[in-house]
Amino acid sequence: MNSRERILAAIHHQEPDRLPVDLGATPSSGISAIAYHALLQHLGIQDGQTRVYDVVQQVAQPDEAVLARYRIDVVDVIRVFNERDEDWYDFSLPQGMTVQYPAWFKPVRLPDGSLEAFDAEGTRLGVMPPGATFFDQTCFPYLDGYPEDFGNLGYWMGKVHWSALGKSARKFSTEQEYWAELRQGVLEMRQRSQRALLIGAGCNLFEWGTFLRRMDHFLMDLADDQANVERLLDALVEKHLHTLEMVCQAVGDVADIVRFGDDLGTDQGPFMSPATYRKLFKPRHKLMVDYVKAHSQMRPYLHSCGSIYKLLPDLIEAGFEIINPVQTSARDMQPEGLKREFGDSLTFWGAGVDTRRILNRGTPQQVKEDVRRNIEILSPGGGFVFNTVHNILPDVPPENIAAMFEAIDEYR
């Protein structure tokens, strides 16, 4: 099998010829810039660049040399906008290392070492405090309440750093220009590479409520202001369906996987009861997933952190086929139970090694043992793409990353 066939076989619950592996195909399955910089040094790669394509989380885009070395099977199509050297510039992180930021991203460094990000209108979008390694959101457009109508929803979404600080090194003057160049780039990518192609569509619902209203307010709204919540969700779905229409028209016949996002879980369980999910979010998730299935060849993938065990039956009914990052440290998310109960219906994209306690704090041998255990549980019969539990964070030693891939290679 080639890489694309290997990924698709896993999604169709067929055991591929060897273990399919992801590193960096999404902003939640990659590696922080600090950890990536250390990995390049450890591998002796002198000509590699640490390009920070997700500036909010400070996540690096892996070089082709790293993808080839570790035989990675899937890539993010946004790479087509990140290949020109002139779209990047050197920037010194507070930790002292030099990385590259997109040319349009110019954070302000304060005397205490913190970094602040502003939009063109001067709105303070986010801050990376001293010693931190990602940007915190600082602008919550609906903090004081919901508007009477959502005619300006797009404008206010653009004041949220997750939206305003995009994951492409290039900016485009028109939406038409963006989609046309994306299609051309992805067609060329598919011709020159046998890797599976993934596109992130976002289409978050619960998370956009927290981005606009702030987490504390929106959680209370779920209990005592559901009328306004539903008004907001319907407005979001309208915008998201437009995005999905553009995605499907541009690359629906070329890309293999489309990524949705909505962090629905805490360490202890979902943010809401299953009944609340079924009432407010499930019908809208299903509407969007059904649109993708009716208008493209792409398989729907949901990124959701936390303990979402209680929601999995509903997520399956909503049409999601792939779940990431499979946070095995959260309640009820042990791989044995997930594979037994949902292995015929879901592909687990993640769960390969625990990033909270083992990859960052364990010995290389402990890392290998965790990797082997998870692969042996999750890989039989397909339905598994190896990835860490969310991003490889700055405190992960490069020796442990190397040990992880050494253990993976035993199954390839």
Residue range 272-306, pLDDT digits in tens: 999 999 999 999 999 999 999 999 999 999 999 99
Percentage of the chain exceeding pLDDT 90: 98
Residues in the chain: 412
- Reply yes or no: is the peptide bond before residue 325 cis, omega within 30 of 0: yes
Band (6; pLDDT cuts 50, 70, 90): very high
| Strand extents, DSSP E, 310-396 | 322-324, 347-349, 384-385
Tell me which residue of 316, 258, 338 sits closest to 291, measured CA to CA: 258
Average pLDDT for 350-379: 98
Say which DSSP state 280 is in: I
- For residue 322, the model assigns a pLDDT of 98
- For residue 356, the model assigns a pLDDT of 94
Average pLDDT for 309-338: 98
Query: Is the per-residue pLDDT at 255 higher than 90?
Result: yes
Query: Is the per-residue pLDDT at 173 higher than 90?
Result: no
Average pLDDT for 203-225: 98
- For residue 95, the model assigns a pLDDT of 87
pLDDT in tens, 86-136: 999 999 998 889 999 999 999 999 999 999 999 999 999 999 999 999 999
Percentage of the chain exceeding pLDDT 70: 100
3-state secondary structure (DSSP) of residue 261 = strand
Q: Max alpha carbon distance in the chain (Å)?
A: 58
Band (395; pLDDT cuts 50, 70, 90): very high
In the chain, % helix, strand, coil (3-state, to 5) comes to 40, 15, 45
138-147, 165-174, 377-386, 398-407: the lowest-pLDDT one: 165-174
- Cα–Cα distances in Å, from 329 out to 263, 296, 309? 15, 34, 12
Q: Any idea which residue has 């080639």 for tokens?
A: 2
Average pLDDT for 141-160: 98
- For residue 94, the model assigns a pLDDT of 87
- For residue 268, the model assigns a pLDDT of 98
